[in-house]
């Protein structure tokens, strides 16, 4: 039996490097040498215990790696190919898959479900969720395709165009990439809320027209001043919690669009009359699938490889897998200056 290293949650704010069995890919799956993996906000939710932790398998889904082994029946990829991995597999046969909404697949399985994800030396992923990357793309860029695809979809769910003023709540990875995707889409004006200096600095570099530090400025007043009291055409909420939902509703114009792409853990007391009176459209954005004719993953790959989104600007820290404990500690505390923390192998 050969073994490999895998970083596995062992309790609240605890993760440890363990020696686990290396398994060859099952039929339909692909064995991947995980080269670089980002720590996602959702990984931190597991780390803090807001979401379930697997105590048997490594998490990690923002992964770029090299194909090493093909499971039975896999076609279209070869050992040596550089790939990015969607967080979930899909069946291709159910109602939602057939309609082009494969992110709602009735048989969708998370990458780390009964297999090790990207916080391990090797991961097994289903062929349905794999995208071959251009050779010119670095491992670091490849590991940023997944979160950019999340943000790209949120901008797509809002149908944001050159006519729209777009506000983004939250200066973390998903907020920053939503900003970058909105800028790349050529929207009229962008505003983003931030809490930390590194978030403000990055947002300016990514082309934000207005950066609102919520510790120092009043968001509603800023938007009123900017729009003559009208409100934003589009608001993308990336943080979660009732305060942020209310903030989004307070700055969207009548008939505007609000897209929620955040982790909401608890039922909230919210004022729904705002939706009634404003006729604002409020919708969610769930991972990625198709936006128009293209998958959000293909769009994200194109945005990065064309240089339209300078994705690696988000990576503030890089650690070897051996330093996973430190990597999580830094990622969990944004006062460290962290935006995106990567594990490299």
State the Cα–Cα distance between residues 179 and 190, nearest whole angstrom. 7
Question: What does the CA dihedral 42, 153, 298, 316 come to, rounded to 10 degrees?
Answer: -40
CB of 184 to Zn ion, least distance (A): 20
Residue 90 or residue 109: which is nearer to Zn ion going by CB?
A: 90
Residue 7: which of 103, 121, 175 has the closest Cα?
121
Residues in contact with Zn ion by CB under 5 A are 40, 90-91, 94, 97, 105
Burial letters 167-205, b for 16+ CB under 10 A, else e: bbbbbbbbbbbbbbbbbbbebebbbbbbbbebbbbbbee
Radius of gyration of the CA atoms of the chain, in A: 20
Question: What does the CA dihedral 331, 68, 131, 289 come to, rounded to 10 degrees?
Answer: -70
Residue 62 or residue 121: which is nearer to Zn ion going by CB?
A: 62
Helix/strand/coil for 138: coil
Helix/strand/coil for 113: coil
Residue 91 or residue 325: which is nearer to Zn ion going by CB?
A: 91
Residue 146 or residue 233: which is nearer to Zn ion going by CB?
A: 146
CB of 130 to Zn ion, least distance (A): 16
Helix/strand/coil for 19: strand
CB of 46 to Zn ion, least distance (A): 11
Question: What does the CA dihedral 22, 28, 34, 36 come to, rounded to 10 degrees?
Answer: -150
CB of 94 to Zn ion, least distance (A): 3
Structure token pair of residue 31:
């064995």
Q: Are 46 and 104 in contact (CB under 8 A)?
A: no
CB of 285 to Zn ion, least distance (A): 13
Residue 219 or residue 259: which is nearer to Zn ion going by CB?
A: 259
Helix/strand/coil for 29: strand
CB of 154 to Zn ion, least distance (A): 13
Residue 63 or residue 124: which is nearer to Zn ion going by CB?
A: 63
Q: Are 331 and 338 in contact (CB under 8 A)?
A: yes
Residue 97 or residue 212: which is nearer to Zn ion going by CB?
A: 97
CB of 106 to Zn ion, least distance (A): 5
Structure token pair of residue 186:
């050529």
């Amino acid at each position: 039996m050969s073994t490999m290293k895998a970083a596995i949650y062992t309790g609240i704010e605890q993760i440890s490097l363990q020696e686990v069995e290396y398994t060859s890919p099952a039929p339909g799956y692909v064995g991947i040498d995980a080269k670089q993996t980002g720590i996602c906000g959702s990984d931190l939710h597991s780390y803090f215990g807001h979401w379930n932790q697997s105590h048997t398998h490594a998490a990690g889904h923002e992964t770029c790696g090299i194909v090493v082994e093909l499971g039975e029946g896999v076609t279209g990829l070869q050992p040596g190919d550089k790939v990015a991995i969607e967080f979930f597999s899909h069946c291709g046969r159910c109602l939602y898959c057939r309609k082009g909404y494969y992110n709602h697949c009735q048989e969708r399985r998370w990458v780390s479900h009964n297999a090790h994800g990207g916080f391990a030396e090797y991961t097994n992923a289903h062929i349905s969720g794999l995208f071959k990357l251009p050779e010119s793309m670095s491992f670091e860029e490849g590991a940023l395709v997944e979160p950019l695809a999340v943000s790209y979809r949120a901008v797509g769910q809002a149908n944001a165009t050159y006519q729209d003023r777009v506000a983004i709540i939250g200066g973390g990875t998903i907020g920053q990439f939503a900003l970058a995707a909105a800028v790349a889409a050529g929207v009229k004006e962008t505003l983003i809320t931030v809490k930390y200096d590194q978030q403000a600095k990055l947002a300016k570099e990514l082309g934000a027209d207005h950066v609102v530090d919520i510790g120092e400025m009043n968001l509603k007043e800023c938007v009123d001043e900017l729009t003559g009291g009208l409100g934003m055409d589009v608001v993308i909420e990336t943080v979660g919690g009732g305060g942020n939902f209310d903030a989004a509703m307070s700055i969207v114009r009548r008939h505007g669009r609000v897209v929620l792409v955040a982790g909401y853990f608890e039922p909230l007391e919210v004022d729904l009359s705002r939706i009634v009176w404003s006729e604002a459209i409020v919708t969610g954005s769930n991972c990625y699938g198709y936006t128009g004719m293209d998958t959000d993953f293909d769009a994200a790959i194109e945005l990065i490889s064309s240089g339209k989104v300078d994705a690696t600007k988000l990576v503030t820290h890089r650690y070897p897998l051996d330093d996973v404990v430190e990597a999580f500690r830094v990622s969990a505390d944004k006062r460290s200056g962290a935006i995106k923390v990567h594990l490299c192998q």
